[in-house]
Structure 1
Amino acid sequence: MQLTHFSKRLSTVGNFLAITVLCLSAIAFTWHSSLLSNTTAIAAPSVNFIANADSTVKGKANEDAGQTKNFIDDAADKVKNTAKRNASKVAESTDGNGSFVQRKALKDTATIQRRADEDAAKTKKAVDDTKNAVERTVDNIKDAFGK
């Protein structure tokens, strides 16, 4: 299908108008954003925002660390209780006569409870280290933007 002379001209004018509108829109958006941009007005609220975020993040880190430590304590208590229950079941099954199996169960119970305490202490220390790292990072970011 061949275009007539009139439709060729109309197609060319349409392309030209589309390109012109696109370029003018790009220029208008660029001009508008550069005229309304006020960097001093933007800089001041960001420092306040960072200061507010500082206390929020540190508060959340402390809260989460406390909850995590409670969870660790609960898990250690459950491990200890389970070890005690298992030892008492062994004692009941051996009629409490001080057999080798009963002594072994009591020794294992003591070992499990000691290790539960040690693991809980190590995990709590790791939680504290992580919380401190978060707080140091927040302080470093605050110092970087504060200067």
Structure 2
Amino acid sequence: MKLNFVTKQLSSLGRWLATMLVGLLAIAFIWQGAFTTAALASPNPTLIASRDAGDQVQQKTREGARDAKGFIRDTANKVERTADRNASRVDRATDNKGSGGFFSRRAKIDRDRIHMRAEQDAARTQRAVDNSRNAVERAVDDIKDALD
């Protein structure tokens, strides 16, 4: 069924975007703190990888993960609303003709299946975002511990 293909592609795209966003945020904030002229010219080499930079990376990672989760939840809600609209259109179309029992039931079954899969995909993608965020935070903690 094409709708299942579309929802799988949307969830796959959401996971990929969330992982990419978290990774890019981590790289960007580490890069930003590592190559400032003040840090390079400073006699204190710990400015490049200070605890504050690590805390900033972790905070930005958390914010990015929160934003990605919001995007994932919005996408799941839009898919569910579309399924509801499609089911109600089928109901309206079949009510006027009087022979809508089979099509109406089928539309409701499809709607329920789409709701279930949207929730499953959203939960799976949010777990992937959490895992990515945790991996970045562990890496930052390991780097901070190594520099202490």
Check whether TM > 0.5.
yes
The unaligned stretches of length 5 or more in structure 2 are 1-42
Residue from 119, 122, 126 that aligns with 1:120: 122
Moved over 3 A (4+): 41-46
Q: Which has the larger radius of gyration?
A: 1
CA RMSD, Structure 1 to Structure 2 (Å): 1.5
Q: Give the deviation of 1:144 after TM superposition.
A: 1.2
Partner of 1:59: 59
Alpha-carbon offset, residue 44 of structure 1:
4.6
Q: Distance in 1 between matches of 2:47 and 2:69?
A: 36
Counterparts of 1:109 and 1:125, CA distance in 2: 24
Aligned partner of 1:31 in structure 2 is none
Structure-2 separation of matches of 1:71 and 1:90: 29
Instruction: Write the deviation string for residues 14-68 of structure 1: whole angstroms up to 9, x where unpaired.
Output: xxxxxxxxxxxxxxxxxxxxxxxxxxx433544xx42111110000001001111
Provide the C-alpha distance between the structure 2 equivalents of 1:44 and 1:112, rounded to a whole number of angstroms: 52
How is 1:36-51 mapped onto 2 (pairs within 5 angstroms)? Answer: 41-46=43-48, 49-51=49-51
For residue 120 of structure 1, what is the amino acid of its counterpart? A
Residues 94-125 of structure 1: CA deviation (Å, up to 9, x unaligned): 00755111100000000000100010000000
Provide the C-alpha distance between the structure 1 equivalents of 2:113 and 2:46, rounded to a whole number of angstroms: 58
Provide the residue aligned with 1:75 in structure 2: 75
Structure 2 residue aligned with 1:144 = 146
Distance 1:121 1:112 in 2: 14
The 2-side partners of 1:132 and 1:77 are apart by: 26
Distance, in Å, in 2 between the alignment partners of 1:85 and 1:44 is 58
Give aligned-pair identity as a percent. 45
TM-score calculated relative to the size of structure 1: 0.66
